[in-house]
Amino acid sequence: MLKRVVITGIGGICGLGTNVPAIWEAMRAGRSAIGPIEQFPMHDLKVKIGCEIKVMPDHGIDRKQTVSMDRFSLLATIAAREAMRQSGLSTHADNIYRMGAIVGIGVSGFETVEENYRAILIEGKNRAGIFTVPKVMPGAAAGQVSMNLGLRGPVFGVTSACSSSNHAIASAVDQIRLGRADVMVTGGTEAPLVWGVLKGWEALRVLAADTCRPFSADRQGLVLGEGAGMAVLESYDHAMARGATILAEIAGAGISADASDIVAPTIEGPEAAMRFCLADAGFNPEDVDYLNAHGTGTKANDQIETTAIKRVFGQHSRALSVSSTKSMHAHCLGASGGLEMIACVMAISEGLVPPTANYREADPDCDLDVTPNVARERKVRTAISNSFAFGGTNAVLAFKAV
C-alpha cells in the first residue's frame, strides 16, 4: 500500500505578501496586486504591468549565501524557511539523509543572465560575474534550499514551464511513497520580471495591457508575476509519530502531455490529467468541492480549460466552486502551482473559496461558477489544482482534509 503524504508547513512570497498569512488575507479579500512594474528597469517594453514584490522581507539569510543566489533561488529559500518553521521540524544527524528538496522553476535565472549580457555587451566589461553559472542553473533553487535547511536526501530541480510547481510536488510525493525520504520540502519559484523575459512574452502577444481577468468575456491576456510557494511534505506516519499539525493531505496527482503543439493547448491533455488525478486520489467527480483553475486569462486557455472541466466533472461541474487566483498574484510561471497550493490548503483549512478577481462580464464559453470577485464560504473537504504549460505538459494535484 502506498504511503499517505501530508502537508505540515507552507510558505510563500509574492506580490500579495511576503508570508502565507498576508497572501491568504489578500486572496480572501479578492485584492489584486497587479500594477505598474516599479522595481525593475523596463527599457523599451510596451507592456509594463506585472505583479512584483514591492519590499523584500528581512529574511535572515546570511550574505555569504545570498551572493551566490539569483532572485528565484532567494524567493524559494525564503518560502521554504517559512514552511519549515511552521512544520516544527529541525535537522539533526539522524534525519538529514531522510529529508530532501525538489523545487520547480520555469525560466531559471534570467536576472543574472540579463545583468551579465548587459555588462559584457553594452557596458563593455570583459568578464562575467564569478557566480553566474551556479546562479542561473535550473537546479540552483533546490540546492540553495537544501544548503540553507541542511537537507541531504533527494535534492533536484524540476522544470516544465508553467507546470513546474505541480510536477515538483508530485515528484516529492513519489520520493516519500517510494521510501526514499520521510520529509520533502517542495514547491516552485520564479523571478521573471526582467526585460529579456518580458520582451519574449510581449512577442507572443498574450500579455494583457491592464490586468488579468480570467474567465471574463473582456479578458485581454495574462500578466506575469514573481514569487515562490513551498510546502513541507511528510509521510502520514512520520507526521503522526512526532505529533505534527497536519494542514492537508496530498491525495493524488495526474500527469499527461498534449503531444500536439509547443504553445497551443488541447482539451484532451488537461482532461486526461484531471482524470488521472481523480483516479490516483480515489475521488469521484462529485467528491471535489473546489478547483483552482490554471485560469491564465487568455481567450484560448480559459475556454479550453472550461471544456475540459465539463468533460471530467459532467453535471457536477455546475456545483463545483472554481477560481483563478492568478487574477490576484498574476501568472508566476514555475511558481504558480506553489502559490495555488497555498490557496487550496487554506481553502480546506478555513472553509473559504478564494475569488476570481477583476471579473466583469460573463462569457458563455466559460460558464462555470468561477467565484467572481468575492470569496465564498463553503466547506471544502477536497480541492484540485490545475497546471497546464507550454510544451503541452499538464500536472494536476488533489488535496483533502485529514
User: Greatest CA separation found in the chain?
Assistant: 64
Residue 21 falls inside a structural domain:
yes
Q: Is the pLDDT of residue 1 over 80?
A: no
Residue 228 falls inside a structural domain:
yes
User: Interhelix angle for 195-204 vs 110-117, to 10°?
Assistant: 110
What separation, in Å, do the N-terminal and C-terminal C-alpha atoms of the chain show?
Answer: 18
Give the mean pLDDT of 363-372: 98
Residue 192 falls inside a structural domain:
yes
Assess whether 56 and 199 both reside in one domain: yes
* Rounded Cα gap, residues 80 and 228, in angstroms: 9
Q: What SS3 class is residue 179?
A: coil
Assess whether 120 and 189 both reside in one domain: yes
Structure confidence at residue 330 (pLDDT): 98
Chain mean position to CA 36: 22
CATH, residue 291: 3.40.47.10
Choose one of 201, 218, 241: the last residue of a domain: 241
Determine whether 51 is an active site residue: no
Which of 167, 238, 329, 331 is catalytic? The answer is 331
Cβ partners under 8 Å of residue 149, min gap 6 = 80, 81, 84, 91, 99, 101, 185
What domain range is 236 assigned to?
Answer: 5-241
Assess whether 115 and 138 both reside in one domain: yes
Which of 167, 238, 294, 329 is catalytic? The answer is 294
Assess whether 93 and 202 both reside in one domain: yes
- Torsion sign over Cα 237, 395, 133, 15: negative
User: By C-alpha distance, which of 191, 193, 238 is closest to 69?
Assistant: 191
Choose one of 241, 261, 285: the last residue of a domain: 241
List pLDDT tens digits, range 290-325. Answer: 999 999 999 999 999 999 999 999 999 999 999 999
Kind and range of the H or E element at 383?
A: strand 382-389
Determine whether 294 is an active site residue: yes
Cα separation values, 54 from 33, 36, 339, 353, Å: 10, 11, 17, 26
List pLDDT tens digits, range 134-152. Answer: 999 999 999 999 999 999 9
* Rounded Cα gap, residues 80 and 200, in angstroms: 29
Residue 215 falls inside a structural domain:
yes
Give, in degrees to the nearest 5, the angle at Cα 193 between 24 and 230: 40
Residue 38 falls inside a structural domain:
yes
Structure confidence at residue 108 (pLDDT): 85
Label the pairing between strands 393-400 and 248-257: antiparallel
Residue 248 falls inside a structural domain:
no
Which of 162, 212, 277, 344 is catalytic? The answer is 162
Choose one of 241, 269, 301: the last residue of a domain: 241
Assess whether 205 and 258 both reside in one domain: no
Assess whether 47 and 120 both reside in one domain: yes
Determine whether 92 is an active site residue: no
Give the mean pLDDT of 374-399: 98
Assess whether 342 and 209 both reside in one domain: no
Assess whether 160 and 78 both reside in one domain: yes
Assess whether 13 and 144 both reside in one domain: yes
Assess whether 45 and 164 both reside in one domain: yes
Assess whether 107 and 36 both reside in one domain: yes
Number of compact structural domains in the chain: 2
Confidence of residue 219 (pLDDT cuts 50, 70, 90): very high
Kind and range of the H or E element at 395?
A: strand 393-400
Assess whether 227 and 259 both reside in one domain: no
Residue 247 falls inside a structural domain:
no
76 contacts 65 by C-beta, under 8 angstroms: no
- Residue 293: CA atoms inside 13 Å, Cβ hemisphere, count? 32
Give the mean pLDDT of 7-27: 98
Residue 246 falls inside a structural domain:
no
Q: Is the pLDDT of residue 171 over 80?
A: yes
161 contacts 119 by C-beta, under 8 angstroms: no
